[in-house]
Structure 1
Amino acid sequence: MLFLVLGRGKTGRVVADIAHERGHGVRVLGEEENRDASALTAPFLAQFDAVIDFTTPQAVIPNMRACLANGAHMVVGTTGWYSQLEDMRALAARKNAGLLYGTNYSVGVQATLRLAKELAKAVPHYRFSISETHHVSKKDAPSGTALSLKQALQSAVPGLEVEITSHREGDASGLHVIEARSENDVIELKHEAFSRRGFAEGAVRAAEWIHDKKGVWEFSEISSQLG
């Protein structure tokens, strides 16, 4: 397949490397080459089986509008744009496009989300909090993954209060810690990424999955189908 990767940041570069490793052709566009989605014309997009976006919350919306309006198949790893999700969902439906989005494409994080729900169900009377640490160049805080963990906890126990604390340090790839505390003890559920490869591999496999599909999915809905 031939994939278009939007974003020359650290994660975008790893995505391109892994796509090559898995036998795909790759074209990478940096934001300086694609201001306001100016490069994403219909003839240009028609070359690609799927588009993978790891840009910024500011760049991703114009990119999505251009790709979905032309019926492209898109994997979005950028976070910080979910207030526009319903608009993007409607656009994908009108144009018969494919959209797969997610706060985190790591298989380990998907397992952590499931464990978070079980923990909340097991000790719903405990006090819950989330701490997240990422690299200093990450634009959004709290992270999308932290917000997904909070949502997982609250889906298991509606009304559960969960405070999120964000830290931006060095080149940290991603650390998320859920703490459940009572007067007698504390339980911690931790996921730490050692590199960006786990996220990138999941994104490439997501692109392989969506390249011939029309509709909108959140990554957790289909991650079990990737093996």
Structure 2
Amino acid sequence: MLFLVLGRGKTGSLVAEVAKERGHSVRVIGEEANVNGSAITAPFLAQFDAVIDFTTPEAVIPNMRACLATGAHMVVGTTGWLEHLKDLRALAERRHAGLVYGSNFSIGVHALYKVAHELAQAAPGFKFRIVETHHVDKKDSPSGTALTLKLALESANPHLNVPIESKREGDTPGIHVIESRTDSEVIELRHESFSRRGFAEGAVRAAEWISTRQGVFEFRDVYEQFD
């Protein structure tokens, strides 16, 4: 397959590397060459099996509009844009495009979502909080993963109002800790990424999957279908 990767940052560069390791051809375009999605035209996109976006919250929306309007197949790992999901979903459906999006493409994080949901149901009377730590260059705060964890907890127990503490330190790929506590005991769930490779592998596998499909899918709902 031939993939277009939008974004030359650390994760986007690793996505390109992983895609090549899996036998695909890749073209990478940085934001400086694609201001407001200007490089994304229908004739240009026609050559690619899928587009993978790891840019910024500011760049991803024009990128998505340009790609989905052509009926392209797209994977979006960029966060900070979900308030526009309704409009972008409608665009994708009108144009028969394919889209997989998610706040995190790590299989381990998605296992954490499930465990968090179960813990919130199994620990009535506990107070919950989330602490997330990422590298200093991360644009959005709280992280999309932390917000999804909050949703997982609060949907399991509507009495919860889970605060999030965000830290930005060094080059940390991502640490998420769920703490549930009473006056007499504490339970902690922790996920730590040692590198961005898990995110990149998930994104490439998502691109392989969406390349032959139409519709809008959240990564957590489809990752178990990947080969």
Range class of TM-score, shorter chain: over 0.9
Residue 65 of structure 1 aligns with which residue?
65
Counterparts of 2:76 and 2:27, CA distance in 1: 16
Tell me the SS of whatever aligns to 1:192: strand
Counterparts of 1:60 and 1:125, CA distance in 2: 40
Worse overlay, 153-162 or 134-143: 153-162
Matches within 5 A, 1:59-208: 59-208=59-208
Work out the number of aligned pairs and report it: 227
Counterparts of 2:124 and 2:73, CA distance in 1: 40
Q: Deviations over 1:29-77 (max 9, x none)?
A: 0000100100000000001000000000000000000000000000000
Counterpart code for 2:141: A
Counterparts of 1:48 and 1:155, CA distance in 2: 38
Counterparts of 2:5 and 2:85, CA distance in 1: 21
Q: Deviations over 1:122-154 (max 9, x none)?
A: 103100000000000000000000000001101
Residue 28 of structure 1 aligns with which residue?
28
Tell me the SS of whatever aligns to 1:149: helix
Scaled by the length of structure 1, the TM-score of the pair is 0.99
Counterparts of 1:217 and 1:124, CA distance in 2: 32
Counterparts of 1:52 and 1:221, CA distance in 2: 18
Counterparts of 1:124 and 1:52, CA distance in 2: 41
Counterparts of 1:82 and 1:108, CA distance in 2: 22
Residue 7 of structure 2 aligns with which residue?
7
Counterparts of 1:159 and 1:212, CA distance in 2: 42
Identity %: 68
Gaps of 5+ in 1: none
Counterparts of 2:181 and 2:11, CA distance in 1: 34
Q: Deviations over 1:181-213 (max 9, x none)?
A: 001011000000000000000000000000011
Tell me the SS of whatever aligns to 2:206: helix
Deviation at 1:159, TM superposition (A): 3.4
Gaps of 5+ in 2: none
The structure 1 segments of at least 4 consecutive aligned residues displaced by more than 3 Å after TM superposition are none
Counterparts of 2:89 and 2:158, CA distance in 1: 26
Counterpart code for 2:87: D
Counterparts of 1:18 and 1:159, CA distance in 2: 42
Counterparts of 2:24 and 2:96, CA distance in 1: 24
Counterparts of 2:217 and 2:139, CA distance in 1: 24
Counterparts of 1:124 and 1:34, CA distance in 2: 50
Counterparts of 2:205 and 2:191, CA distance in 1: 21
Instruction: Please report the RMSD computed on the Cα atoms of aligned residues, expressed in angstroms.
Output: 0.6
Deviation at 1:155, TM superposition (A): 1.3
